[in-house]
Each structure stands twice: as structure tokens, then as C-alpha cells.
Amino acid sequence: MGFSLVPIALMVLALIIAIYRAIYSDLAGHPSNFSHIMESVAGYGLGGSSVALFSRVGGGIFTKAADVGADLVGKIEHDLPEDSPKNPATVADNVGDNVGDIAGMGADLFGSFAESTCAALTVAATCPEFLNASDPDNLGSYLYYPLLISAFGIASSFITTFFATSIMHVKKNDQIEKTLKYQLIISTIILTPVLYGVALLGLPEVFHMDGSFFDENYPIHGWACTISGLWGGLIIGWFTEIMTSHSYKPVREIANACHTSTATNIIYGLALGYMSTVVPVLCIGVSAYMSHKFLGMFGIALAALGMLSNLCIGLAIDAYGPISDNAGGIAEMAKLGEHIRHRTDALDAAGNTTAAIGKGFAIGSAALVSLSLYGAFVTRAHRLHKLHPDYNNLLDSDIMDPLIFTGLLFGAMLPYVFSAFTMRSVGLAAMQMVNLKKNEFLKIFLKVEEVRRQLHSNPKIKTGEEDPDYKACVRISTQASLKEMIAPGVLVIFH
């Protein structure tokens, strides 16, 4: 997955730039017009984010609907084992792992990759030295520096995989998680000197960037920005593992809280969850501050690219959990034996922790990407103001302005409204499961009743004489996930 998504994304972006330069060759022949071409290319990132919205949230609704339906009825009411072929929701559950945790996460990180690269291109196009105007044969050649970061990241990640496949052989269950974690560490160490070489290769010897603390900038400044994002991502991933792995104290403390009551478990879990935000926010803040000092808003975009430079490895260890989970489901449905299921469960347990690491990368890179996109807008606004001094309104961003302050409040509210839309189904369904006298079953949990109906109405399913209707569960989850995406999608796109 890692070596498919990232190269394809990079190849398509490079192809779009080449097509735009060919179509608008008259514009491309004038250095001052490169910024307009790169602004058009920025649509690539917007398209990636739009698709990621539906893949991530819609896929999440699908997989949770399938998972809840399989567990509530099959495991709790009828004492069926995990992924039993007698459970009608088993196939939907396995499909949900792919839809939500594979396609959804892939689309999410693709959106971050596309947006950060487009933001860096948009800001870089405002720098005269990046256009290399003195050399007509290589006009705009330095603009490809953001793409070089990702290209060399693919090569470094490819080298990293040999440590897992040829050197770090897993012989015990407790070695699985370490091997996956070491992939992230090794790729970060390899990329540190590689990105320095990329900076020397892809950046001008001396250049000037708006918002930089220095009068003149050098390739080492670009390297420092990418490194701050790269190592910040590693720290976020490492801390995420500490907060989610059973090998460390936080998870064990939550488990011990279960001995008292459910309430103490929930309270303790929420407390640790809130505390877990401290280190990632500090890493993102330090990385953003350092990068802005070095290269202004362009530096923040480079920090986001640096965090995503080993995205191939990040996607691989993130997809490891759902793949192992599906392998366990196939082993159970194919009746391959307890020893096979024991192995797949060990792989799945390690994969759950590494999947959390991938989510940490997604959140961290998204924060830097949002800053870099805002920076691209501000940089272009300043450049436009220099060319057209009458456009003062573009620079008027005083937080004390009533309209801007109101907009900030609305912006802070939207994530909660978005979450409310997606969580509302859960609350309605929970109420309905308490009062089973109602005949109308709401939204995504229609499938819970479908599983219950099949297992209660046809005893031959439990004895294995007949197969349940797997398609009905898949159909209900699919329809519900698409329907539930309407309100959140409208909120995000049209707000």
C-alpha cells in the first residue's frame, strides 16, 4: 500500500505540472506568471481532500456499523466466536476494515500529502530565485524541490523495508510490534542525511523568502525545516505507541481501573486521552515555530513534507493491523485451527498499536498542512499587495475585527458540529436498543436487527446447515454509510 499510493500521487502531481507548463507555455516563459500556474495546480490538493472526506468518514461509519452489528448480536446474544461464519455480519465486518482503515486512512494521508506539496509549490513560486530566471533552459527548475523530498523519501523507505524482511526476523510474538516500530526509526535516521543532500540538490545557493528571520536563506535552512517535521513525526509516533500499547504503563493503568467499576475506567481513560494531546501539540508547535523562523510560511510547508517524507513506511505499518485482522477472520471462517488464529491475533494486537501511530502522523501532518495552506494564501496576498497597493483589504486580518472574530468562533464550532452529525446515529441507536418494542430501526444500526433476525428466525444458521445472508448486512452498512455522509459533507463543502 505504501509503495503504491505515494508514488502514484507523486507521479500524477508531476504530470499535472508538466501538462500545465505545456498548455500555458506562453505564461511559463515569463517567470512572474509561474505563481498563477502553481495556484492552478493547488486544485490537486483540494480534490484529494474532498475525496478523503468521504472515504475517511464514510468508511468509518461503515466499519463501525459492521463491527457493532457483529459483536452485539453474534458474540453477546448467541455466544459465537469472533468472525464466526455463522454470524451474518462477519463478511461486512471484514469489508469494513478495508473500507475504513485501509481506503479511509490512505485517502486521508494522500490528501495531506497533496495539500502540503501544493502549498509549498504555491509559496515557492513567489520567490524569484526559485524560478531560476537567469537560465532560460532551466526556468522554474527549483520549484520541483518539494517533489524531490517525497521522491527520495520513497527510495529511503524502500531501503528501510530490507531491515524487516531480511535482517529483523520475528520469532516471538513480542517482537512483532518492535519490528514495526523500528521501521519508523530506521527510515527517519536514513532520511536525515538524505534530505540534506536533497536540499543541496534542489535549492538555490542563496535565496530570499518572505517571512524568514534571516536576510538571506541557504539550503541548510530548507533542510532544517524538513528535519523538524521528520523528527517531530517520529516523536509523535513514539508517544502514540506509549499511550496505546499494552506494553506501557498508561494502558495497564486503564486496565487496572476496570477492577473498580466501569465509571472509573471511563474517567481514567478520558483523563489519559486528554493528557495524550500534550506531546503531539508541543511537537507540532515547536516544528511550526522553527520552520517559520527559518523560511516563513514556506518552511511550515516543508515541515509538513518532512513529516510525510517516510509516508510509505507510515502507511505500511498503519495498514498492517487491518490486514492482520482480516487474516484472522479468513482463518476463522475457513476453520484453519486454533494455532493459526492465535498467530493472527498476535499480529492483530501489534497492528492495533501501529495503526494508532499512523493516526498520529495523520493528525500531526494535517495541522502543519492547514498552516501551510493558510501561509500560501497570506504569501500570495502580500505579493498581490506589492503589485496592486489598492488591495489593502487582503492584508486586513486584525483579530479584533468583529467579522473576523465571529468567523473564528464559527470555525472553532464546526469540528464539534461535524462530530455531532457522525455520532448522532450512535446515540439514537443506543436508545433504540434499550427500547426494542419499536419497529423502526434507525440508520447504521439497522444491521444489528438484521443479524438478530437471521439468527433468531433460522436455527439452521447456528448449526451450520445453512449460510446466513451476508449480502444483506453489507448492503445495509453501505447504504447507511452513504446516507450518513450527506450532512457532514454538506457542512464541510458549503460552510
**What confidence score (pLDDT) does residue 148 get?**
93
Contacts of 365 (CB under 8 A, 6+ apart): 109, 112, 116, 233, 304, 307, 308
Rounded-to-integer distance, Cα 83 and Cα 93, Å: 8
Predicted confidence (pLDDT) at residue 382 exceeds the cutoff of 50: yes
Per-residue pLDDT band at 273 (split at 50, 70, 90) = confident
Q: Look up the pTM and report it.
A: 0.79
Predicted confidence (pLDDT) at residue 72 exceeds the cutoff of 80: no
**What confidence score (pLDDT) does residue 461 get?**
66
More confidently predicted of 146 and 84: 146
Domain that holds residue 464: 2-494
Per-residue pLDDT band at 442 (split at 50, 70, 90) = very low
Across the chain, mean pLDDT equals 77
**Tens digits of residue pLDDT in 300-337:** 889 989 998 988 888 888 888 888 888 888 888 888 88
**Contact call for residues 291 and 225 (beta carbons, < 8 A):** yes
Question: Would you tell me the crossing angle of helices 311-333 and 2-23 to the nearest 10 degrees?
Answer: 130
DSSP symbol at 80: P
- Please give the average per-residue pLDDT across 222-227, as a whole number: 94
Rounded-to-integer distance, Cα 232 and Cα 306, Å: 9
- Please give the average per-residue pLDDT across 133-138, as a whole number: 60
Predicted confidence (pLDDT) at residue 12 exceeds the cutoff of 80: yes
Rounded-to-integer distance, Cα 39 and Cα 215, Å: 26
More confidently predicted of 168 and 187: 187
All three cell numbers of 335: 476453520
**What confidence score (pLDDT) does residue 44 get?**
87
Domains held by the chain: number = 1
| % of the chain surpassing 70 pLDDT | 75
Question: Would you tell me the crossing angle of helices 105-124 and 34-41 to the nearest 10 degrees?
Answer: 170
Q: How many residues does the chain have?
A: 495
In order of 70, 209, 382, 488, the CA distances from 395 in angstroms are: 54, 18, 7, 31
Name the strand (E) or helix (H) holding 447: helix 446-457
